[in-house]
Amino acid sequence: MTHEAMAGSMTAIPAGNLGVVTDVSSDKQTFQVPWGKAMMWIFLLSDTFIFSCFLISYMTVRISTTVPWPNPSEVFALSFGGEPIPLILIAIMTFVLITSSGTMALAVNFGYRKNKKVTVMLMLATALLGATFVSMQAFEWTKLIMEEGVRPWGNPMGAAQFGASFFMITGFHGMHVTAGVIYLSIIAYRVGSGFYDRKKGGNYETVEIAGLYWHFVDLVWVFIFAFFYLW
Protein backbone atom coordinates (compact mmCIF):
# COMPACT_ATOMS: atom_id res chain seq x y z
CA MET A 1 0.00 0.00 0.00
CA THR A 2 1.40 3.41 -0.96
CA HIS A 3 1.83 6.27 1.47
CA GLU A 4 -1.03 8.13 -0.20
CA ALA A 5 -3.38 5.13 0.10
CA MET A 6 -2.47 4.65 3.76
CA ALA A 7 -3.12 8.30 4.44
CA GLY A 8 -6.46 8.08 2.63
CA SER A 9 -7.57 5.03 4.65
CA MET A 10 -6.60 6.74 7.89
CA THR A 11 -8.46 9.92 7.07
CA ALA A 12 -11.55 7.84 6.17
CA ILE A 13 -12.03 6.97 9.88
CA PRO A 14 -13.64 9.85 11.79
CA ALA A 15 -11.82 10.90 14.93
CA GLY A 16 -13.11 11.23 18.48
CA ASN A 17 -16.76 10.71 19.39
CA LEU A 18 -17.79 10.69 15.75
CA GLY A 19 -15.56 7.67 15.14
CA VAL A 20 -17.17 5.75 18.00
CA VAL A 21 -20.66 6.57 16.69
CA THR A 22 -19.63 5.46 13.20
CA ASP A 23 -18.28 2.13 14.47
CA VAL A 24 -21.39 1.37 16.54
CA SER A 25 -23.84 2.33 13.81
CA SER A 26 -21.96 0.28 11.19
CA ASP A 27 -22.82 -2.97 13.06
CA LYS A 28 -19.25 -4.22 13.46
CA GLN A 29 -18.71 -7.85 14.45
CA THR A 30 -15.62 -9.23 16.16
CA PHE A 31 -16.69 -12.83 15.50
CA GLN A 32 -18.63 -13.81 12.41
CA VAL A 33 -21.60 -15.34 14.26
CA PRO A 34 -25.19 -14.56 13.16
CA TRP A 35 -27.08 -12.48 15.71
CA GLY A 36 -29.88 -15.03 15.91
CA LYS A 37 -27.46 -17.80 16.86
CA ALA A 38 -25.60 -15.58 19.34
CA MET A 39 -28.85 -14.57 21.05
CA MET A 40 -29.98 -18.20 21.24
CA TRP A 41 -26.71 -19.16 22.94
CA ILE A 42 -27.18 -16.33 25.46
CA PHE A 43 -30.75 -17.50 26.14
CA LEU A 44 -29.61 -21.10 26.59
CA LEU A 45 -26.85 -19.97 28.94
CA SER A 46 -29.38 -18.16 31.13
CA ASP A 47 -31.64 -21.23 31.03
CA THR A 48 -28.69 -23.38 32.10
CA PHE A 49 -28.35 -21.29 35.25
CA ILE A 50 -32.05 -21.73 36.05
CA PHE A 51 -32.05 -25.51 35.57
CA SER A 52 -28.80 -25.75 37.54
CA CYS A 53 -30.41 -23.89 40.44
CA PHE A 54 -33.40 -26.24 40.33
CA LEU A 55 -31.28 -29.39 40.30
CA ILE A 56 -28.89 -28.13 42.99
CA SER A 57 -31.89 -27.19 45.17
CA TYR A 58 -33.35 -30.64 44.59
CA MET A 59 -30.11 -32.34 45.63
CA THR A 60 -29.86 -30.13 48.71
CA VAL A 61 -33.43 -30.98 49.76
CA ARG A 62 -32.91 -34.65 49.00
CA ILE A 63 -29.78 -34.86 51.17
CA SER A 64 -31.01 -32.71 54.05
CA THR A 65 -34.52 -34.13 54.57
CA THR A 66 -34.96 -36.39 57.57
CA VAL A 67 -38.13 -38.04 56.23
CA PRO A 68 -37.55 -41.06 53.94
CA TRP A 69 -37.50 -40.13 50.25
CA PRO A 70 -39.84 -42.16 48.00
CA ASN A 71 -38.17 -44.80 45.86
CA PRO A 72 -38.48 -43.61 42.22
CA SER A 73 -38.44 -47.20 40.94
CA GLU A 74 -41.64 -47.85 42.89
CA VAL A 75 -43.30 -44.46 42.42
CA PHE A 76 -42.85 -44.43 38.64
CA ALA A 77 -43.58 -48.11 38.03
CA LEU A 78 -46.38 -49.19 35.69
CA SER A 79 -48.27 -52.46 35.61
CA PHE A 80 -49.60 -54.00 32.39
CA GLY A 81 -51.62 -56.75 34.02
CA GLY A 82 -48.67 -58.33 35.80
CA GLU A 83 -45.87 -57.23 38.06
CA PRO A 84 -45.14 -53.47 38.03
CA ILE A 85 -42.24 -52.55 35.74
CA PRO A 86 -39.94 -49.91 37.32
CA LEU A 87 -39.46 -46.68 35.35
CA ILE A 88 -40.91 -48.14 32.15
CA LEU A 89 -42.77 -44.94 31.21
CA ILE A 90 -39.73 -42.79 31.99
CA ALA A 91 -37.55 -45.05 29.83
CA ILE A 92 -39.95 -44.69 26.91
CA MET A 93 -40.11 -40.91 27.38
CA THR A 94 -36.31 -40.72 27.37
CA PHE A 95 -36.09 -42.84 24.22
CA VAL A 96 -38.66 -40.64 22.47
CA LEU A 97 -36.84 -37.42 23.35
CA ILE A 98 -33.39 -38.73 22.38
CA THR A 99 -34.84 -39.97 19.07
CA SER A 100 -36.23 -36.49 18.45
CA SER A 101 -32.72 -35.11 18.87
CA GLY A 102 -31.60 -37.35 16.01
CA THR A 103 -34.41 -36.24 13.70
CA MET A 104 -33.63 -32.61 14.54
CA ALA A 105 -29.95 -33.08 13.66
CA LEU A 106 -30.98 -34.57 10.31
CA ALA A 107 -33.37 -31.65 9.72
CA VAL A 108 -30.49 -29.19 10.17
CA ASN A 109 -28.35 -31.23 7.76
CA PHE A 110 -31.00 -31.30 5.04
CA GLY A 111 -31.83 -27.65 5.72
CA TYR A 112 -28.33 -26.60 4.74
CA ARG A 113 -28.67 -28.79 1.66
CA LYS A 114 -31.83 -26.73 0.93
CA ASN A 115 -33.95 -29.85 0.67
CA LYS A 116 -37.20 -28.28 1.81
CA LYS A 117 -39.42 -31.35 1.69
CA VAL A 118 -37.18 -33.58 3.82
CA THR A 119 -36.38 -30.73 6.21
CA VAL A 120 -40.06 -30.04 6.83
CA MET A 121 -40.82 -33.75 7.32
CA LEU A 122 -37.98 -34.17 9.82
CA MET A 123 -38.91 -31.03 11.75
CA LEU A 124 -42.56 -32.12 11.97
CA ALA A 125 -41.41 -35.58 13.07
CA THR A 126 -39.33 -33.91 15.80
CA ALA A 127 -42.33 -31.81 16.88
CA LEU A 128 -44.52 -34.93 16.92
CA LEU A 129 -42.04 -36.78 19.11
CA GLY A 130 -41.93 -33.77 21.41
CA ALA A 131 -45.72 -33.70 21.63
CA THR A 132 -45.66 -37.43 22.42
CA PHE A 133 -43.22 -36.78 25.24
CA VAL A 134 -45.45 -34.05 26.72
CA SER A 135 -48.50 -36.33 26.44
CA MET A 136 -46.73 -39.07 28.37
CA GLN A 137 -45.63 -36.53 30.95
CA ALA A 138 -49.27 -35.42 31.33
CA PHE A 139 -50.23 -39.06 31.90
CA GLU A 140 -47.47 -39.35 34.53
CA TRP A 141 -48.71 -36.22 36.32
CA THR A 142 -52.32 -37.42 36.23
CA LYS A 143 -51.37 -40.78 37.72
CA LEU A 144 -49.38 -39.22 40.55
CA ILE A 145 -52.04 -36.62 41.37
CA MET A 146 -55.20 -38.70 40.96
CA GLU A 147 -54.01 -42.17 42.05
CA GLU A 148 -51.06 -41.54 44.35
CA GLY A 149 -52.24 -38.29 45.93
CA VAL A 150 -48.97 -36.44 45.37
CA ARG A 151 -49.20 -32.65 45.70
CA PRO A 152 -46.63 -29.82 45.61
CA TRP A 153 -47.19 -29.34 49.35
CA GLY A 154 -47.52 -32.97 50.41
CA ASN A 155 -46.78 -36.56 49.58
CA PRO A 156 -48.32 -39.67 51.19
CA MET A 157 -45.32 -41.80 50.18
CA GLY A 158 -42.67 -39.96 52.17
CA ALA A 159 -40.93 -36.58 52.16
CA ALA A 160 -43.26 -33.70 51.36
CA GLN A 161 -40.53 -32.02 49.30
CA PHE A 162 -40.78 -34.81 46.73
CA GLY A 163 -43.94 -33.38 45.18
CA ALA A 164 -42.65 -29.81 45.10
CA SER A 165 -39.37 -30.88 43.49
CA PHE A 166 -41.06 -33.17 40.98
CA PHE A 167 -43.70 -30.72 39.74
CA MET A 168 -41.30 -27.77 39.64
CA ILE A 169 -38.49 -29.48 37.73
CA THR A 170 -40.50 -31.66 35.32
CA GLY A 171 -43.11 -28.94 34.85
CA PHE A 172 -40.51 -26.33 33.89
CA HIS A 173 -38.88 -28.77 31.48
CA GLY A 174 -42.26 -29.79 30.04
CA MET A 175 -43.02 -26.13 29.40
CA HIS A 176 -39.79 -25.87 27.42
CA VAL A 177 -40.68 -28.96 25.36
CA THR A 178 -44.16 -27.55 24.64
CA ALA A 179 -42.68 -24.21 23.56
CA GLY A 180 -40.20 -26.13 21.40
CA VAL A 181 -42.99 -28.07 19.67
CA ILE A 182 -44.72 -24.78 18.77
CA TYR A 183 -41.41 -23.21 17.72
CA LEU A 184 -40.45 -26.12 15.46
CA SER A 185 -43.91 -26.20 13.88
CA ILE A 186 -43.67 -22.51 12.97
CA ILE A 187 -40.16 -22.89 11.51
CA ALA A 188 -41.27 -25.98 9.55
CA TYR A 189 -44.18 -24.01 8.09
CA ARG A 190 -41.85 -21.19 7.07
CA VAL A 191 -39.43 -23.62 5.43
CA GLY A 192 -42.28 -25.29 3.53
CA SER A 193 -43.77 -21.98 2.40
CA GLY A 194 -40.44 -20.84 0.95
CA PHE A 195 -40.04 -17.98 3.44
CA TYR A 196 -36.30 -18.56 3.82
CA ASP A 197 -35.80 -19.04 0.08
CA ARG A 198 -37.03 -15.49 -0.45
CA LYS A 199 -34.45 -14.12 1.97
CA LYS A 200 -31.08 -13.01 0.69
CA GLY A 201 -29.00 -16.08 -0.10
CA GLY A 202 -31.79 -18.50 0.83
CA ASN A 203 -30.36 -18.90 4.35
CA TYR A 204 -31.59 -21.81 6.50
CA GLU A 205 -29.70 -20.77 9.66
CA THR A 206 -32.97 -20.52 11.56
CA VAL A 207 -33.35 -24.30 11.34
CA GLU A 208 -29.98 -24.69 13.05
CA ILE A 209 -30.95 -22.13 15.70
CA ALA A 210 -34.13 -24.09 16.41
CA GLY A 211 -31.96 -27.21 16.61
CA LEU A 212 -29.78 -25.60 19.27
CA TYR A 213 -32.84 -25.03 21.43
CA TRP A 214 -34.13 -28.56 20.93
CA HIS A 215 -30.79 -30.21 21.69
CA PHE A 216 -30.56 -28.15 24.87
CA VAL A 217 -34.00 -29.37 25.98
CA ASP A 218 -32.92 -32.97 25.32
CA LEU A 219 -29.67 -32.51 27.22
CA VAL A 220 -31.46 -31.06 30.25
CA TRP A 221 -33.75 -34.10 30.33
CA VAL A 222 -30.72 -36.39 30.55
CA PHE A 223 -29.69 -34.61 33.77
CA ILE A 224 -33.25 -34.69 35.15
CA PHE A 225 -33.48 -38.39 34.33
CA ALA A 226 -30.18 -39.13 36.05
CA PHE A 227 -30.69 -37.00 39.16
CA PHE A 228 -34.41 -37.42 39.79
CA TYR A 229 -35.34 -40.87 38.49
CA LEU A 230 -32.14 -42.90 38.91
CA TRP A 231 -30.87 -41.48 42.20
CATH of the domain at 53: 1.20.120.80
Which residue range is the domain that position 111 belongs to?
34-229
Asked if the structure places residue 182 within a domain, the reply is: yes
pLDDT tens digit string along 196-229? 877 755 577 899 999 999 999 999 999 999 999 9
pLDDT tens digit string along 68-123? 999 988 889 888 877 889 999 999 999 999 999 999 999 999 998 989 999 999 99
Asked if the structure places residue 196 within a domain, the reply is: yes
Cα 37 from Cα 35, distance rounded (Å): 5
Asked if the structure places residue 19 within a domain, the reply is: no
Whether residue 10 is predicted with pLDDT greater than 60 in this model: the reply is no
Confidence of residue 29 (pLDDT cuts 50, 70, 90): low
Cα 74 from Cα 72, distance rounded (Å): 5
Asked if the structure places residue 18 within a domain, the reply is: no
Asked if the structure places residue 3 within a domain, the reply is: no
Give how many domains the chain has, as a whole number.
1
Confidence of residue 31 (pLDDT cuts 50, 70, 90): low
Predicted confidence at residue 119, as pLDDT, reads 96
DSSP 66-129: -SPPP-HHHHT-B-SSSSPBTTHHHHHHHHHHHHHHHHHHHHHHHHHTT-HHHHHHHHHHHHHH
